[in-house]
Structure 1
Amino acid sequence: MFGKKNLKQEGGSDSTNLQGQNVVINNGINYSDAKEIALDVFKSNFLELSQSAAFIAKQRAEELIDDFLKRIIDRDPLKINKIQDPDIQYAIFTAQKEYAKSGEKNLEEMLIDILIRRVEENSQSLKKIVLNESLEILPKLTNEQLDILTIVFLIHETQNNQITDRLTFKNYLEIYFSPFVEQITPNNAVYKHLEYTGCCGSFGIPDDNFANLLLNKYKGLFSNGFEKSIFEQITNGDEKYNSLIINCVNNPTLYQFNAMDEIALEKRLNELEPNNIHLSSFKSLLNESTMNIDQATKLVIELEPKLEILIKVWKESYLCTMNTTSVGIMLAIVNLKRKTGLDIDANIWIK
């Protein structure tokens, strides 16, 4: 974990050497101390069980604390000192308790991820509260519900600025959405339970077409195109505006605006004419040349066939009404990392 180099360890006063780890922690506790603290808290607070059940529970609690401490030391050895914080101890106990009950490895992985985020949070912040709450809520959700949270978070709370063409859009759909649709269900009890746990709220007037949500974010990829002559009628043939158009991504014989949406179009136009005299006409042409809902749905399924079931369930269930709360966002981010390796900065939404 720390490489194969043999380094001489010299500890000063009030320091602790971790033998074999090549790490010196000043004025702190070592791995064994931290592990003992966590296990003592667990033993003192966990329910008394039969001998066989108690053995399994203790084994799982020890497994979680070992995996957690190894990852903490790997990231920042000094963070191990935070085990002495009562709030951190309670967070660790919560994680141990839940993993001791289930033994599910996916749960352990996510609990440890949340614990690490919690240890790295220093201030009395909203994020600290959300992380503590996430440890309590996570075990109350199925893997299916975690995947639903991730989909809802991605479609409502994020926009990928790296998408520039059909290929990058296709890759986006495959990487960000496809891993989460396998277990998706129209069973509304699943969505009601998400609301009950506080992970989701509801929209007043939802959009029941998933493809339309994608279209609104990435309108430039849903263009049917237009004749260049129509564009030139608006600009009176002024060539300075030609940088605003490119060949249509869906029909290279036609043209479209070189902008993902109306905001991007307005920004590009501002660079050419500060008074925006053509903005209204350009926006009208953009919207008139954009696919309708049926065409957009067909394109999404063409690019990623696995999303057909998501589009269907989105329309037929409460899924379209869901919106993630702060805890829902945190759990979605942790689940996204577990299933795809993508680590999104939660500070964008929760600080």
Structure 2
Amino acid sequence: MSWFRQRQSGGDNSHQIQAARDVYISKGTQPDEVVRICTELVRSEFERFTATARQIVEERAQEFVENYMCRQADVAPAAISSMEQPYMQRALQHAQVEYASSGDADLGSLLVDLVVELSQKEHRGTHATALQDALTMAPRLTTQQMNALTVVMLGRVAVFHWRSPEEAISAFRSHFIPFGDLPSTGADFRHVQGIGAAWIGFSARKTFAENLTDVYPGLFTEGFNRSELPSQLPEVVVPAAEPDLVKFTFPSARELKLVLEAFGIDEARVADCLTLQKSGTLAPDIVTDTILENVPEMSSLITGWTAWSIFELSTTGMVLADAHLRSRTSGNPPLVL
């Protein structure tokens, strides 16, 4: 069974497997040899199981290998040769055993994505090391806990290049709602910290709207008078919703700062622009009401967000959240560690 059929162009599972085999051959790698290597990697592990359990795990391991080969050929065919490296074989071995033991297709697809992502990274780099840690950590997290990591990443790490509230509302539907089922017990908080996926930072708890307006102060805004702009700026404003007012083209404070600095604007005027950007920001309760009027399904996520707003993600937590995000959505902002 293909775990990625919805992400691919179509065709039944046998056609996808044959297409993957053709890609491997085109790269000078024999697909049967890949299957043999993967089988050998887990043979000694499965020999310890009882006959009934061994049959189950061997079938699941085969299913994992088929999905891995299809995904590798589809996403990163140029990295197929990385499988000859010991660190990649170790990653494949661990991922196969974990999926074969659980049989959880969601976990299986996540592990496949992590292995394929690892194949494209420089070995021993920070990203590759985090991916290898993530392969060990993923089976130890519940779906709800993975949702929490993903929501924290979306709210505090990812940078969306929204230009209007409407674009943000659309992203809430496509990228946030799928992860709205969040855990809320002390055991969940302790577990996520205990395995090293995240930790409690020093910042105060914030509501979803408070965090949103901190990161994107120019998104939900009344605007300001053009006359308030510092002198000699490039054209970086557009009309606001309020008549005769304008707002910055870039709602994100981080993005606005980078753009102004790229134009050579001095530090004092950049600071004035950032202050001006915040001056028209709507109150958090108004922002919350606006979001819920347009996307009532955000209610549970908004409620659950506050408890998780104080968490900082480790690099491993970030790559896990990114993989979980990609498993359910497309058109995602790139992860920058």
- Give the shorter-chain TM-score range: 0.7 to 0.9
**Counterparts of residues 192-211 of structure 1 (less than 5 Å):** 192-211=190-209
Give the counterpart letter for 1:257 in structure 2. K
Q: Name the counterpart of 2:246.
A: 256
CA–CA separation in structure 2 for the residues paired with 1:170 and 1:19: 38
Long gaps (5+) in structure 1? 3-17
Q: 1:321 aligns with which of 293, 310, 313?
A: 310
Q: 2:299 aligns with which of 299, 303, 308?
A: 308
Give the counterpart letter for 2:105 in structure 1. K
CA–CA separation in structure 2 for the residues paired with 1:209 and 1:22: 48
Long gaps (5+) in structure 2? 1-7, 10-18
CA–CA separation in structure 2 for the residues paired with 1:130 and 1:156: 19
Does the CA-based 8 Å contact 2:148-2:183 persist in structure 1? Answer: no
Instruction: Work out which of the two has the higher radius of gyration on C-alpha atoms and give 1 or 2.
Output: 1
Q: Name the counterpart of 1:222.
A: 220
Q: Name the counterpart of 1:13.
A: none
Structure 1 residues 144-185: Cα deviation after superposition (integer angstroms, max 9, x where no partner):
111111100111112212x1112112112212211110x223
Give the counterpart letter for 2:240 in structure 1. C
Give the counterpart letter for 2:245 in structure 1. Y
Moved more, 330-339 or 303-312: 303-312
Does the CA-based 8 Å contact 1:270-1:276 persist in structure 2? Answer: no
Structure 1 residues 62-117: Cα deviation after superposition (integer angstroms, max 9, x where no partner):
11112212332345556444333222221111111111111111111111111111
Shift of 1:121: 2.5
SS of aligned partner of 1:339: coil
Shift of 1:334: 0.6
Q: Name the counterpart of 1:114.
A: 114
Does the CA-based 8 Å contact 1:207-1:320 persist in structure 2? Answer: yes
Does the CA-based 8 Å contact 1:144-1:184 persist in structure 2? Answer: yes
CA–CA separation in structure 2 for the residues paired with 1:184 and 1:246: 37
Shift of 1:344: 4.7
Count the aligned residue pairs: 320
CA–CA separation in structure 1 for the residues paired with 2:267 and 2:160: 30
Does the CA-based 8 Å contact 2:146-2:324 persist in structure 1? Answer: yes
Would the alpha carbon gap of residues 127 and 245 (structure 1) be closer, same or farther in structure 2, given more than 3 Å must change?
A: closer
Percent identity, please: 20
Does the CA-based 8 Å contact 1:178-1:306 persist in structure 2? Answer: yes
CA–CA separation in structure 1 for the residues paired with 2:127 and 2:316: 9
**Counterparts of residues 38-53 of structure 1 (less than 5 Å):** 38-46=38-46, 48-53=48-53
Give the counterpart letter for 1:222 in structure 2. F
- 1:333 equivalent to 2:322? Answer yes
Shift of 1:266: 9.8
Would the alpha carbon gap of residues 210 and 36 (structure 1) be closer, same or farther in structure 2, given more than 3 Å must change?
A: same
Give the counterpart letter for 2:204 in structure 1. P
